[in-house]
Amino acid sequence: MKLQLRQTLFTAALIGLAPTLAHADTNLIPQPASMQIKQGAPFVLKNNTAFVATGEAAAEAQFLASQMRAATGFKLSVKNSGKSAITLQLNANLKDKLGEEGYTLESNQNGVTITAATRAGLFYGGQSLRALLPPQIMRAAPVVGDRMNWTVPAVSIEDQPRFGWRGYMLDDSRHFFGVDYVKSLLDNMAARKLNILHWHLTDDEGWRIEIKALPKLTEVGAWRGTDVTLPNVRGEKHARYGGFYTQAQIREIVAYAAARHIDVMPEIDLPGHELALLASYPEAGPTVKGDGVSATGFHDNAISPVRPESLAIVDKIYDEVAALFPFEYIHIGGDEVNYGFWKNDPQIKEFMEQEKLKNLHEVQVAFTKRLEGVVARKGKKLFGWNEILDDKLSKGTGIMSWTGTGPGYNAARRGFPVVMSPGQYSYLDMGYGGNGEPESHSWAGNVTLERMYSFDPLGDGGNLTPAEKARIMGVQAHGWSEFIRAGKTGLMEFKTDQEALDYKLWPRLLATSEVAWTPQDKRTFQDFSRRLDADEYQRLADANVFFRVPPPNAVTLKAGVVTIDGPFAGADVRTTFDGTTPTLASPRYEKPFALNGRDAGALRARTFLNGRGSSLQVGARVEPIGTWKNGELKSAAQEFTYDATGNLASGGIWRASFRRTGGDKALRLDKATVLVNGVPVATATAGDITNKGDRAVARFDVPNVPAGAKVSVMATLAAPDGENVAGQVTLLKSERLEPDVTVASTYPAYQNNTIEAAGDWDDDTLFWIADFPKPGVLATWNFASPVSATSISLSSGERNGTKDQLLGGDLEISEDGTNFRKVAGFTYGSAAADLPANTKVKAIRVVATQTQSTWVMLRDPVLR
Q: Quick one: which H or E segment has residue 563?
A: strand 561-565
Give, to the nearest 10 degrees, the angle between helix 119-132 and helix 179-191.
90
Instruction: Report if residue 335 touches ligand TNX, rule: CB under 6 A.
Output: yes
Nearer to ligand TNX, 150 or 443 (CB): 443
Backbone phi and psi for residue 135, each to the nearest 5 degrees, phi listed first:
-55, -30
The Cβ of residue 113 has, within 10 Å, a number of other Cβ atoms equal to 17
- 51, 402, 517, 820: residue in contact with ligand TNX (rule CB under 6 A): 402
Instruction: Report if residue 267 touches ligand TNX, rule: CB under 6 A.
Output: no
Nearer to ligand TNX, 139 or 200 (CB): 200
What whole-number distance in Å separates Cα of residue 91 and Cα of residue 116? 6
* Rounded least distance, CB 822 to ligand TNX, Å: 22
* Rounded least distance, CB 441 to ligand TNX, Å: 4
- 150, 245, 480, 654: residue in contact with ligand TNX (rule CB under 6 A): 480
Instruction: Report if residue 427 touches ligand TNX, rule: CB under 6 A.
Output: yes
Task: Say how many CA atoms lie within 13 Å of 674 toward its Cβ.
Answer: 28
What whole-number distance in Å separates Cα of residue 405 and Cα of residue 111? 45
Q: Residue 637 burial by CB count (10 A; 0-12/13-18/19+): exposed, middle or buried? A: middle
* Rounded least distance, CB 621 to ligand TNX, Å: 30
Nearer to ligand TNX, 299 or 522 (CB): 299
- 385, 546, 608, 767: residue in contact with ligand TNX (rule CB under 6 A): 385
Task: Say how many CA atoms lie within 13 Å of 234 toward its Cβ.
Answer: 18
Backbone phi and psi for residue 536, each to the nearest 5 degrees, phi listed first:
-70, -40
CA 800 to chain centre: 12
DSSP one-letter code for 549: P
**Is the Cβ–Cβ distance between 159 and 129 less than 8 Å?**
no
Nearer to ligand TNX, 263 or 335 (CB): 335
Nearer to ligand TNX, 503 or 768 (CB): 503
Instruction: Report if residue 439 touches ligand TNX, rule: CB under 6 A.
Output: no
Task: Please count the residues of the chain.
Answer: 864
**Is the Cβ–Cβ distance between 130 and 187 less than 8 Å?**
no
Nearer to ligand TNX, 372 or 429 (CB): 429
Backbone phi and psi for residue 642, each to the nearest 5 degrees, phi listed first:
-120, 135
Sheet containing 652-663: which strands, arranged edge to edge? Answer: 626-628, 725-733, 652-663, 695-702, 689-691
What whole-number distance in Å separates Cα of residue 667 and Cα of residue 658? 8
- b/e map of 467-495 (b: 16 or more CB within 10 Å)? ebeebbbbbbbbbbbbbbbeeebebbebe
Instruction: Report if residue 168 touches ligand TNX, rule: CB under 6 A.
Output: no
* Rounded least distance, CB 207 to ligand TNX, Å: 15
Nearer to ligand TNX, 269 or 502 (CB): 269
CA 234 to chain centre: 21
Instruction: Report if residue 425 touches ligand TNX, rule: CB under 6 A.
Output: no
DSSP string, 230-266: BPP-TT---SSEE--B-HHHHHHHHHHHHHTT-EEEE
Q: Is 79 left (phi over 0), alpha (psi -120 to 50) or beta?
A: beta
What whole-number distance in Å separates Cα of residue 424 and Cα of residue 446? 8
Nearer to ligand TNX, 128 or 481 (CB): 481
Nearer to ligand TNX, 300 or 482 (CB): 482
- 274, 437, 482, 497: residue in contact with ligand TNX (rule CB under 6 A): 482
* Rounded least distance, CB 66 to ligand TNX, Å: 36
* Rounded least distance, CB 423 to ligand TNX, Å: 6
Sheet strands (E) in 566-694: 572-576, 593-594, 604-609, 612-613, 617-618, 621-622, 626-628, 638-643, 652-663, 668-676, 679-684, 689-691
Nearer to ligand TNX, 296 or 830 (CB): 296
Beta-sheet pairing, 398-401 with 381-385: parallel
Instruction: Report if residue 441 touches ligand TNX, rule: CB under 6 A.
Output: yes
- 60, 429, 497, 535: residue in contact with ligand TNX (rule CB under 6 A): 429
**Is the Cβ–Cβ distance between 745 and 754 less than 8 Å?**
no
* Rounded least distance, CB 424 to ligand TNX, Å: 11
Instruction: Report if residue 383 touches ligand TNX, rule: CB under 6 A.
Output: no
Residues 6 or more apart whose CB falls under 8 angstroms from that of 274 comprise: 202, 203, 204, 284, 301, 302, 303
Nearer to ligand TNX, 165 or 480 (CB): 480
Nearer to ligand TNX, 336 or 670 (CB): 336
What whole-number distance in Å separates Cα of residue 768 and Cα of residue 287? 38
The amino acid present at 467, given as its one-letter code, is A
Nearer to ligand TNX, 802 or 814 (CB): 802
Q: Which of residues 285-304 bind ligand TNX (CB under 6 A)?
A: 296
Cα–Cα nearest to 756, from 782, 733, 732? 782
> How many positions of this chain bind ligand TNX (CB under 6 A)?
10
Helix, strand, coil percentages, rounded to 5, for the chain? 25, 30, 45
Instruction: Report if residue 336 touches ligand TNX, rule: CB under 6 A.
Output: yes
What whole-number distance in Å separates Cα of residue 520 and Cα of residue 532? 18
Give the angle subtended at the CA of 299 by the CAs of 295 and 303, to the nearest 5°. 95
Cα–Cα nearest to 412, from 334, 474, 456? 474
What ranges in 342-448 are assigned the alpha helix state H?
346-355, 360-376, 406-413, 423-426
Nearer to ligand TNX, 327 or 427 (CB): 427
What ranges in 105-260 are assigned the alpha helix state H?
119-132, 179-191, 216-219, 247-259
What whole-number distance in Å separates Cα of residue 614 and Cα of residue 336? 35
Q: Which residues bind ligand TNX (CB under 6 A)?
A: 296, 335-336, 385, 402, 427, 429, 441, 480, 482
